[in-house]
Amino acid sequence: ETGVTQSPTHLIKTRGQQVTLRCSSQSGHNTVSWYQQALGQGPQFIFQYYREEENGRGNFPPRFSGLQFPNYSSELNVNALELDDSALYLCASSIDRGRNNSPLHFGNGTRLTVT
């Protein structure tokens, strides 16, 4: 059983640029969430995708967008990068079968640095 994999592991971008981060869900998982973890803080929820549709969003501006594909892999896109976007971006997958409480399984993250 493969776990959650994210690419790339590290990325350096310039302010104003756009970035795409990728995630492959754990086998059998149909729900993917993205989190931003700034230095010294806990992860913050960005959004969640289920059946290729966004079904939950945290307090992040519209320049943060995402996609989920039929194979349950996912992308996080950030436009017009700002210095404060520098963080570790974590992808997490889970199985959603109604009101179950299966925990999130996280990938190792992508470290984004905006200069």
Partner 1 sequence: DQQVKQNSPSLSVQEGRISILNCDYTNSMFDYFLWYKKYPAEGPTFLISISSIKDKNEDGRFTVFLNKSAKHLSLHIVPSQPGDSAVYFCAARTSGSARQLTFGSGTQLTVLP
CB-CB neighbours of 47 under 10 Å:
19
CB-based contacts of 4-7 (< 8 A; 24+ apart in sequence): 4/91, 4/92, 4/93, 4/105, 4/106, 4/107, 5/107, 6/89, 6/90, 6/91, 6/107, 6/108, 6/109, 6/110, 7/110
Q: Under the criterion CB under 8 A, does residue 26 sit at the interface with partner 1?
A: no
Q: Under the criterion CB under 8 A, does residue 66 sit at the interface with partner 1?
A: no
Segment interacting with partner 1, rule: CB under 8 A, options 12-20, 36-44, 66-74, 76-84:
36-44
Of the candidates 25, 26, 33, 68, which one interacts with partner 1 according to CB under 8 A?
33
Number of residues forming the site for partner 1 (CB under 8 A) = 28
CA distance linking residue 6 with residue 110, whole number of Å: 7
Q: Under the criterion CB under 8 A, does residue 109 sit at the interface with partner 1?
A: yes
When the beta carbons of 24 and 48 are compared against partner 1, the nearer one is: 48
CA distance linking residue 20 with residue 11, whole number of Å: 10
Of the candidates 4, 76, 78, 87, which one interacts with partner 1 according to CB under 8 A?
4
Applying CB under 8 A, the residues found at the interface with partner 1 are 4, 31, 33, 35, 40-45, 48, 50, 55-56, 58, 90, 92, 94, 96, 99, 101, 103-109
